[in-house]
Amino acid sequence: MSGYAIGLMSGTSTDGIDAALIRVEKGHSPPLQLIDAIFKPFSREQRADIFRAFDPRCSALEWAFLHQRLGEWFAESVMDLLQHAGMSAGNIRVIGSHGQTVAHYPPSPDSQHSQGFSIQLGDPAIIAARTGIDVVHHFRAQDMAWGGQGAPLVPYFDYVIWRSGHESRAILNIGGIANVTLLPKDCTLDQVTAFDTGPGNMVLDALTEIATHHQLRYDPDGRLAREGRVDQELLQMWLSHPYFRQRPPKSTGREIFGEAYAQKLWNDGLERGLGPQDILRTATALVAQSIALAIEWETPYALVVSGGGIHNTTLMHEIGQRLSLLRPPESTDAYGFSGDMKEAVAFAYLAWEFCDGIPTNIPAVTGALRHVVQGSWTPARTGARIEPAPWVS
């Protein structure tokens, strides 16, 4: 079967919504291609609304209203994408919406929440109503119900696209959190290893905002960090964080590496007499070294990178210097998938597989007890598009 699907993603960096349109053609290699994509940045007010939801003290009422508003924002992104692509909703089989993660507490024997839970906002019923397209959502829940971490979610997609019979590959995504999928040469699905390596752009963005008194949301091209130097003693102290020594399966988020963590790094740097650029450069080295420690193999391999981190040349240089690679790191763009849109593309494909009843978790990766079909389905039913209420902004 062939057809079209849309994927929606708003990651831990919380900079905006990625919307990707793909065409799936089973039996082809690869079985999908990216047709079109758009990015809709969050306004300062929208971003502030979302950041309030990260606070554990945020009320259920605030979460509920944000759930609705995010649903509207995701739906608007779909309609804008369809207009940009010159396509109608009737051409689209399904939307895969990851939603905006506001809490991720994976199962842990040391926690009172031993089962674990993960909350993503962005009302799928609103998306379906506004677009007239069926929506697959809540991708993490089934895996977690079977004892898994519910993350990372895209290793199945990475396996489908980048598994190779002639070389080993590491598929690295540097979003707010960095995650990696390790694909040994000619591996089977159950031989895949994947996990969150730790902080990515999230901590670098937060430090940039502190350093520039909120004039910049991120360090363009890593320019500020490039002006600094790495404090090796401080770097080693930061690398002693227990998450970096934790063995997979493991996943993480703002609960560990959010604003409070970034503020601690900033304070640590100030106590050592470092300037803003030195703190940023050392934090950039922290991200690079935590990635390198996680994915170093005995034999050289190819590194394929996606996510906002690909635009930070200082970070990419730091990563490349620490790894034993077959060739310089490549962006997923080299394989026909925009590095900025890879995860949105993945959720479009995961939704397609859901519709076909195909399990897309990897128990060896998440720790789940079995393979499961990931997601829940919200039908548009009538196929009609319903306009948002006039009070919705």
Give the pLDDT confidence score for residue 393 in this predicted structure.
47
Give the pLDDT confidence score for residue 218 in this predicted structure.
94
Where residue 307 falls (left for φ over 0; alpha for ψ -120 to 50; beta otherwise) is left
Give the pLDDT confidence score for residue 391 in this predicted structure.
47
- In the chain, where the domains are located: 2-153+342-378, 168-325
- Beta carbons within 8 Å of 240's beta carbon, 6+ residues apart: none
The CATH fold assigned to 168-325 is Nucleotidyltransferase; domain 5 (3.30.420)
Return phi, psi of residue 11, to 5°. Answer: -90, -170
Give the pLDDT confidence score for residue 298 in this predicted structure.
76
Same fold across 2-153+342-378 and 168-325 = yes
Give the pLDDT confidence score for residue 296 in this predicted structure.
81
Query: SS3 breakdown of the chain: % helix, strand, coil, rounded to 5?
Result: 40, 20, 35
Tell me if the pTM is above 0.85: yes
CATH number (3.40.350.10, 3.30.9.10, 3.40.50.300, 3.30.420.40) of 2-153+342-378 reads: 3.30.420.40
With tokens 């959190």, the residue in question is 177
Angle, alpha carbons 303-304-310 (nearest 5°)? 110
Question: Which tokens sit at 106?
Answer: 């994976």
Question: Which tokens sit at 156?
Answer: 């199945």
CA atoms within 13 A on the CB side of 51: 16
Q: Which residues of the chain have pLDDT under 50?
A: 391-393
**What CA–CA distance (Å, rounded) separates 376 from 19?**
19
